[in-house]
Amino acid sequence: MDKLSSTTLLPETFSGARADITEQLTIVWGQMKEPLIVPLLKIAVFLCLTMSVMLFIERVYMGLVITFVKLLGRKPEKRYKWEPLKDDLELGNSAYPMVLIQIPMYNEKEVYQLSIGAACGLSWPSDRIIVQVLDDSTDPIIKNMVEMECQRWASKGINIKYEIRDNRNGYKAGALKQGLKHSYVKDCDFVAIFDADFQPEPDFLWRTIPFLVHNSELALIQARWKFVNADECMMTRMQEMSLDYHFTVEQEVGSSTYAFFGFNGTAGVWRLAAIDEAGGWKDRTTVEDMDLAVRASLKGWKFLYLGALKVKNELPSTFKAYRYQQHRWSCGPANLFRKMLFEIIRNKKVSTWKKVHVIYSFFFIRKIVAHLVTFIFYCVVLPATVLVPEVQIPKWGAIYIPSIITILNAVGTPRSLHLLVFWILFENVMSLHRTKATFIGLLEVGRVNEWVVTEKLGDALKFKSARKAFRHPRFRIGERIHLLELMTGVYLFFCGCFDVAFGKNHYFIYLFAQAIAFFIMGFGYIGTFVPSSA
């Protein structure tokens, strides 16, 4: 039997049809390119460069401010009156303010003992503190465990209250609001809030309450977060770099210049009078903490950030948990900006300069532009210029400005500077979800009010590595395959191949590296990276 020829397997009619389709697509692309694609891409490049410059100026400004703060030694104790609270022989313990500790939790099986134990271990006159556990758990076994833990501490003489609701309306904001309605709260002056994975040191109140007692204009004292599992894997190291910049620079600059910053929702102490005047907790967005902070600021209250005071907590250690968290943290601020923009503009209690700071710097640049420019520019527009060589991006916009912004962002975590390239790729991938969430918040559609509690592991972290060695993860399509990342990776890979074959921009190394990052996270493997301390 004669060998089958290629023409037998692939008839000439089919080959000809395929060539015709390719030729037709080429003609259509050529006809659309000049009158439509090129002008649109030029507009996109202009807008992205404008946003990049805005972000660059913001980062440089904050860098200069934080440098002066450090050089001038503008410590909180120098800007606000602070002196330790002293015993009063006549008044006794009544000389100390009454403090409420709120611990909101939801099915926190792994960490409830840690958080309750840390709160009950706070050093403060025992008759001047109330620990309030706000348990919204839906698992009856976990609810029983939390209640038993509260009873155990109560038997030791701790004034601890176990409070539950018959619904989860308003999620965390609803729980905190309901907690303040109990009769015993009316005797309290201040409230400290700790999420279920936060473990304050015993002297936390001694270092924060004096600021509120001696400075009547202060409404909030915010402490810094300290991550107990930062070295668990590559993903947690990347999170640490991003959050360290937030706490080292953004919060410090806001506190030092405008006495305003976003409340982080935990590890902070509020003046109850300020919460009442601001209108209390509201559940209209998924960032009830930021909502309260903005409203209190518009009433004229000031905030103070204590970077030297650190509270231990846990970073999300799975990609799924981190994605949910980032959706909430990106969607919520954008939605709050939509709801409060005109309220901020019409406000007459704060200066115009502070309103400009809140609208432009706090909301627009950090919560919207930072997400949009990272994904749209570096993952969509810049690769597109490879396919359309008629559109060029200047070197200052494609290389110099991004490099300076990256270096300024990384200064908060010097120990991870060797991971800078990985951090850039990781942040670009996550910007996909942040951009999507930002649009959802601005347009108020879809998952705008979705609230998924971040999974916490607590003591289980100590045994997680050992379990991984003996157990292979189950492959579940719905949990491990992420189509948005994979499609973006394919697009970047195609642009990289085109750049190698025909391009003049020489972005192919970046494009291939970014495509690989999207593929890795598209298959859900980022959380399994080995610890980067190696």
Both tokens of residue 443? Answer: 């347009």
Active site (annotated) includes residue 231: no
Q: Which of 111, 466, 533, 471 is nearest to 316 (CA)?
A: 111
Active site residue: 136, 195, 197, 244, which one? 136
Which of the four pLDDT bands, split at 50, 70 and 90, describes residue 266? very high
pLDDT tens, position by position, 310-356:
999 999 988 888 989 999 999 999 999 999 999 999 999 889 999 99
Selecting from 3.40.50.2300, 1.10.10.10, 3.90.550.10, 3.40.309.10, what CATH number does the domain 80-317 have? 3.90.550.10
Look at residue 234 and tell me whether its pLDDT is greater than 80.
yes
How many Cα atoms are found within 13 Å in the side-chain-facing hemisphere of 349? 12
What pLDDT is attached to residue 410? 84
Task: State percent of the chain over pLDDT 90.
Answer: 69
Task: Say what the pTM is.
Answer: 0.88
Looking at every residue in the chain, the average pLDDT score rounds to 88
What pLDDT is attached to residue 462? 54
pLDDT tens, position by position, 160-202:
999 999 888 999 999 999 999 999 999 999 999 999 999 999 9
Active site (annotated) includes residue 289: yes
Look at residue 4 and tell me whether its pLDDT is greater than 50.
no
pLDDT tens, position by position, 412-443:
888 888 889 999 999 999 999 999 999 999 99
Average pLDDT over residues 110-136: 95
Average pLDDT over residues 71-98: 85
Active site residue: 195, 244, 283, 289, which one? 289
pLDDT tens, position by position, 13-29:
545 555 667 677 677 76
Look at residue 465 and tell me whether its pLDDT is greater than 90.
no
Higher-confidence residue of 415 and 533: namely 415
Cα–Cα distance measured from residue 111 to residue 456, given in angstroms and rounded to the nearest whole number: 7
Show the CA angle centred on residue 377, arms to residues 364 and 401, nearest 5°: 80
DSSP state of 412: T
**Ranges assigned E (strand) in 177-319:** 190-193, 218-227, 268-271, 302-313
Cα–Cα distance measured from residue 383 to residue 378, given in angstroms and rounded to the nearest whole number: 7
DSSP state of 481: -
Look at residue 12 and tell me whether its pLDDT is greater than 60.
no
